[in-house]
């Protein structure tokens, strides 16, 4: 039947009820089904079980097995019906009572679970999983004393469970060393303890050791292929490493086991989206919602995908449904605001302010609401009130992120020192000769999405996304040689190694290229400190710097709430100093790699679009196409905050927009004073 280890269900079936009347299934046939289950093949196992039940409809072992498999697949009504039948056919068989109790506990039907668990224990007092789940049910019903007694009884029957419970408690409280020590003690006694392996994997992941974490989670799943939480943990780990093809394959395999589990469909959608498989991601979210119509995460994700695809009405509908399902979920409100073209009603503003006044509102939801309200008032040209919300939102978000401006300067010092003219002369002719990548970079909110949309409107170019691979490769280099860090480790790399790194980048980018066009765009703005590295591994790649007036660019960031990264953007001094570092780095690249980077000023582009389009295409050695001027007609997925803006004809209202907030930006102006003579103020 099933065994409960460390608070997570692992199906461990046994052939144990023998005093049945009439012909029964053979042990060999039963074990064949168990073998399929232990290999994670739940659907074939269930089918085999059902075929044998046609011949042996009253075999309680087969029925119990069928009920447990149905329960694992989330088919709760069917599982309950089968397990109830088993208790009728074999009223003295303890295990189906235990399994039925567990099934009810998993559905939060705690009161109903009690008599089944208690009957299981009357029939077999040594069922420690029944004791443990009785404790869970009693705790959920508020019977603390009864829950403690049940837990203690379970721990007495299984001392490892006590240790695992304590390890889990330490882990939840952040006491990682204590949790790790207990897990290792458990594994000394039981090397295949599934939950100890899993928890060690989570501890390794939190310590920044993804390879060890993955090995431990996979080891856990070797012993229990149907351990659903370990499966989710592994998928999360793969996604957090941005190994999207691996994460997608993992969740697709899970769907073979759990086709009706909304959580799997949701996680699949969350992996397909960043892999640029936008329509598939939307479909995965839709399947999740068909199973769980009020799944707030899926509604939010669906809204993001519809926005990316340019389906604004569908995006708004999804965000509205998300708000209805979770009114305090500030991210849906902010997502509406972040469409940039959406207008909030008076009742919307009132609803957001009401949510913001809640005492129990999570900090991140509050930040989202503050930024959404700021954008709502800005859309009404009430810049004073808008700034009040922007200021509060930035102040609160700054406490939730970590940014060290000194570390930024130190890192840039190392790059400037290493990537000098002598280095580039020394590696001349090295690297991968492929000329397909086009890098569009710069400070965020400076027109890079506009430049990307213009270029991606060309028949020979595909726009992809803000690809993480340059940063990932340099981070990987930093840990390759003990005592050396990036960029110093570059001195050890010969021409073959530089070419190999270029090929690595191209291979990683392949999954984002679906149109079979000869050129593609990587629009990661934060690649600007890595221009020297890009040139070393991809010397024929083209690089475009999208630049905007410092005050407009910095204000644009101060008004933007990023899903992740860009942690410099929530404080005027941080933002201004980061912009100065950006100019410093771009000046350095211009000096050591003259002509390598084409600078495209936002103000020039909106003033004379066609001239700038021709200039960009000449730099890219592409023939002129009118579609690049009519970029707003191009239908393609756009993944940034400017997605709706670049689907409109060019406009000039963004030039000098900072002046609406000039009275509030004195701190920023002061920081930017050293470059004031370079730009019209």
Report how far residue 505's alpha carbon sits from residue 499's, in angstroms, rounded to the nearest whole number.
Answer: 10
For residues 330, 332, 338, 339, the Cα torsion angle rounded to the nearest 10 degrees is: -160
Residue from 156, 159, 145, 67 nearest 106 by CA: 67
In this structure, are residues 461 and 517 in contact, taking their beta carbons and an 8 Å threshold?
Answer: yes
Question: What local confidence, expressed as pLDDT, does residue 242 receive?
Answer: 86
Number of helices followed by number of strands (H, E) in the chain: 34, 7
Question: What local confidence, expressed as pLDDT, does residue 181 receive?
Answer: 95
Question: What local confidence, expressed as pLDDT, does residue 12 receive?
Answer: 40
Give 320-335 as a DSSP string: HHHHHH-TT-HHHHHH
Question: What local confidence, expressed as pLDDT, does residue 11 receive?
Answer: 40
Residue 547: is the preceding peptide bond cis (ω within 30°)?
no
* Positions in the chain whose pLDDT score sits under 50: 1-15, 19-20, 22, 641-643
CATH class of 3-157: mainly alpha
Residue from 548, 561, 557, 602 nearest 576 by CA: 557
Question: What local confidence, expressed as pLDDT, does residue 484 receive?
Answer: 79
Report how far residue 516's alpha carbon sits from residue 520's, in angstroms, rounded to the nearest whole number.
Answer: 10
Question: What local confidence, expressed as pLDDT, does residue 121 receive?
Answer: 95
Tell which phi-psi region holds residue 135, choosing left (phi > 0), alpha (psi between -120 and 50) or beta: alpha
For the entire predicted model, the pTM comes to 0.80
Q: What is the CA radius of gyration of the chain?
A: 30
Question: What local confidence, expressed as pLDDT, does residue 4 receive?
Answer: 35
The CATH classification number of 405-678 equals 3.40.50.300
Question: What local confidence, expressed as pLDDT, does residue 404 receive?
Answer: 96
In this structure, are residues 665 and 328 in contact, taking their beta carbons and an 8 Å threshold?
Answer: no
Residue from 660, 653, 551 nearest 340 by CA: 653
Question: What local confidence, expressed as pLDDT, does residue 43 receive?
Answer: 84
Report how far residue 249's alpha carbon sits from residue 255's, in angstroms, rounded to the nearest whole number.
Answer: 10
In this structure, are residues 59 and 20 in contact, taking their beta carbons and an 8 Å threshold?
Answer: yes
Q: Which residue spans of the chain are classified as CATH 1.25.40.10?
A: 3-157
Question: What local confidence, expressed as pLDDT, does residue 480 receive?
Answer: 62
In this structure, are residues 333 and 368 in contact, taking their beta carbons and an 8 Å threshold?
Answer: yes
Instruction: Give me 62's structure tokens.
Output: 């087969």
Q: Which residue spans of the chain are classified as CATH 3.40.50.300?
A: 405-678
Question: What local confidence, expressed as pLDDT, does residue 329 receive?
Answer: 86
Instruction: Give me 336's structure tokens.
Output: 């509406």
């Amino acid at each position: 039947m099933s065994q409960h280890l460390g608070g997570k269900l692992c199906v461990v079936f046994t052939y144990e009820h023998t005093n049945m009347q009439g012909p029964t299934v053979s042990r060999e046939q039963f074990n064949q089904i168990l073998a399929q289950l232990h290999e994670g093949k739940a659907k074939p196992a269930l089918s085999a079980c059902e075929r044998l039940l046609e011949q042996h409809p009253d075999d309680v072992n087969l029925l119990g097995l069928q009920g447990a498999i149905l329960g694992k697949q989330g088919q709760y009504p069917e599982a309950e019906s089968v397990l109830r039948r088993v208790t009728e056919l074999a009223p003295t068989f303890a295990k189906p009572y235990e399994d039925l109790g567990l099934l009810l506990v998993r559905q939060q039907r705690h009161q109903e679970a009690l008599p089944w668990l208690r009957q299981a224990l009357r029939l077999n007092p040594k069922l420690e999983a029944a004791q443990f789940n009785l404790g869970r049910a009693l705790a959920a019903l508020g019977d603390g004393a009864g829950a403690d007694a049940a837990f203690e009884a379970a721990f007495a029957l299984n001392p490892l469970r006590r240790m695992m419970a304590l390890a889990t408690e330490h882990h939840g409280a952040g006491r990682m060393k204590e949790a790790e020590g207990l897990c290792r003690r458990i594994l000394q006694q039981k090397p295949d303890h599934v939950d100890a392996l899993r928890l060690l994997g989570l501890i390794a992941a939190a310590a920044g050791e993804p390879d060890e974490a993955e090995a431990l989670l996979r080891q856990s799943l070797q012993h229990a292929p149907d351990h659903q939480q370990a499966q989710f943990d592994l998928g999360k780990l793969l996604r957090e490493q941005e190994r999207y093809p691996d994460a997608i394959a993992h969740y697709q395999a899970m769907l073979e086991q759990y086709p009706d589990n909304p959580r799997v469909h949701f996680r699949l959608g969350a992996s397909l989206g960043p892999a640029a498989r936008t329509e598939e991601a939307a479909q995965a979210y839709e399947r999740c919602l068909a199973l769980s119509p009020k799944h707030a995460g899926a509604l939010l994700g669906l809204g993001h995908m519809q926005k990316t695809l340019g389906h604004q009405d569908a995006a708004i509908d999804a965000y509205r449904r998300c708000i209805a399902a979770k009114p305090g979920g500030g991210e849906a409100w902010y997502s509406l605001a972040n469409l940039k073209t959406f207008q909030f009603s008076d009742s919307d503003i009132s609803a957001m302010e009401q949510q913001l006044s809640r005492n129990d509102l999570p900090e991140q939801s509050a930040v989202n609401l503050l930024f959404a309200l700021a954008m709502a008032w800005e859309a009404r040209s009430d810049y004073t009130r808008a700034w009040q919300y922007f200021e509060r939102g930035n102040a609160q978000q700054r406490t939730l992120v970590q940014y060290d401006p000194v570390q930024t300067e130190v890192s840039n010092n190392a790059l400037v020192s290493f990537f000098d003219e002598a280095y580039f002369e020394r590696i001349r002719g090295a690297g991968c000769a492929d000329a397909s990548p086009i890098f569009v970079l710069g400070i965020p909110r400076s027109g890079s999405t506009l430049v990307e949309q213009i270029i991606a409107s060309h028949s020979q170019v595909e726009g992809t996304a803000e690809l993480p691979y340059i940063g990932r490769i340099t981070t990987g280099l930093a840990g390759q040689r003990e005592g050396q860090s990036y960029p110093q480790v570059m001195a050890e790399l010969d021409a073959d190694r530089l070419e190999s790194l270029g090929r690595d980048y191209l291979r990683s980018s392949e999954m984002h290229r679906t149109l079979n066009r000869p050129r593609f765009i990587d629009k990661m703005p934060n690649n600007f400190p890595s221009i020297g590295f890009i040139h070393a591994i991809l010397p024929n790649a083209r690089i475009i710097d999208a630049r905007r007036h410092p005050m407009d660019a910095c204000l644009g960031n101060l008004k933007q709430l990023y899903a992740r990264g860009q942690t410099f953007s929530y404080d005027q001094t941080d933002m201004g100093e980061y912009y100065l570092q950006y100019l410093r780095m771009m000046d350095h690249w211009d000096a050591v790699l003259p002509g390598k980077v084409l600078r495209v000023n936002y103000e020039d582009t909106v003033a004379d679009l066609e001239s700038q389009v021709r200039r960009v295409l000449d730099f890219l050695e592409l023939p002129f196409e009118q579609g690049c001027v009519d970029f707003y007609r191009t239908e393609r997925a756009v993944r940034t905050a400017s997605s709706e803006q670049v689907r409109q004809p060019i406009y000039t209202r963004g030039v000098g927009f900072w002046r609406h907030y000039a009275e509030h930006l004195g701190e920023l102006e002061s920081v930017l004073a050293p470059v004031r003579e370079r730009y019209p103020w």
